[in-house]
Structure 1
Amino acid sequence: MLVRFVSSETGEVLMFAETAAALLQAIGKETTARGVFTPPEMPLAAEKLRQAVAQSEDPPEDEELDEKGKKKPPAVGFRQRAWPLIDMLERTGRAGRDANIIWEAPQAF
């Protein structure tokens, strides 16, 4: 299932529900079929995501190793998945009091 984030100031971002859920949970939002970020929420939400990215970069206790014994990097990490939403939150948050971001999905995820 796809989740669509739409900003009044930037383009839209599409994410798989699993990724969107992880990002919204890091911010403290519920994973409902529809939701909104208001201008006062956006800077804090972006900061929470940046903190979640920093924590995700701490090495896990049981790292996956390749055949040479080196740590395997994930194909696409949390940082790469979070960046479009962080950028959207920051840019839209600077746009003024009428700016908004909504998300839509076919159902709660």
Structure 2
Amino acid sequence: MLVTFTTDNYGDVIMFGEVALAMLRMMGHSPTVPGAILAADVPAALARLRDAIAQAKAEPPVVEEEQDQDQEAAGEPAVSLSKRALPLIKLLEAAAESNSRVMWK
């Protein structure tokens, strides 16, 4: 499943479902697709996401051994949660600046 986040004055952000649902939980929203954040609630959601990302950075990474071995075998580095969240953070910043809602489907 893919989840597409949209707002006015910024390009769409598409994420894999599992990551998008985790980000929604971090923002304090239910992982229901489709959904929306009202313009007035965007700054608070952005702050919660940033706090959750900062907390995740402070904690040691939890990687399942099998997944870690698969990535090493393929020669692929793991992508951190903070890097995955960056496009969504930029979208939320743009929405807060333009006082726009954020929707996802």
Structure that is richer in helix per residue? 2
Larger radius of gyration: 1
Unaligned runs of 5+ in 1: 65-73, 105-109
- C-alpha RMSD of matched pairs (Å): 2.0
Equivalences for 1:39-54 in 2 at 5 Å? 39-54=39-54
Q: Percent sequence identity over matched residues?
A: 38
Please give the TM-score of this superposition, normalised by the length of structure 2.
Answer: 0.79
Does 2:28 align with 1:28? yes
Give 2:73's aligned residue.
Answer: none
> 1:8: how far off?
1.3
Runs of 4+ in 1 over 6 A off after TM superposition: 61-64
Corresponding residue pairs, total: 93
What do the CA deviations read for 1:30-81 (whole angstroms, capped 9, x no partner)? 11121111111111111111111111111428789xxxxxxxxx62111011
The letter of the residue matching 1:22 is: A
Contact kept? 2:22, 2:31, Cα under 8 Å? no
Unaligned runs of 5+ in 2: 65-76
